[in-house]
Amino acid sequence: MSTIPASHLDLLERPLFGHLGTVKADGAPQVTPVWFQWDGEFLSFTTSTQRAKYRHMEKNPAVALSVNDPEQPYRYLEVRGTVERMEPDTDGDFFFVLAERYGPAIDRGGLDDAPYRVKVVVRPSHCTKQ
């Protein structure tokens, strides 16, 4: 059974930017805007093994993602969960799935960090909404 409330499911189904919160080694939070995908069970996004958020998730898999409704800015959804897995995506295939979802035209040859790409899969455990 999903922890995502039906009243706010549209915020995950629409191509809206998420704000990913990770925990740094010193316990301080870090928040980064991300493209993401919801498949009905998991939230997924991509990053590079060269980025700080990757290192943070390796050490502490607890994350949070918030999304707000651009038409009603005080309407939002926060999803907390745990990184279940980080899958190699060295061809950048998942990056381009997200690029198509979000709409920009991106040349496949222009993804310089493809050899370092991973698909991050998060299992939601708690939500708050407004």
The CA-based angle 80-32-57, given to 5 degrees, is 55
pLDDT of residue 1: 43
Q: Which residue, among 48, 65, 28, 69, has the nearest Cα to 118 in the 3D structure?
A: 48
pLDDT of residue 2: 67
pLDDT of residue 111: 79
CA pair distance 112, 96, nearest whole angstrom: 13
Contact 18, 45 (CB under 8 A): yes
- Mean pLDDT, the chain cut into blocks of 10 residues (130 residues total): 86 97 96 97 96 96 97 96 96 92 77 90 96
Enumerate domains of the chain plus CATH numbers.
Answer: 6-129 (2.30.110.10)
pLDDT of residue 3: 84
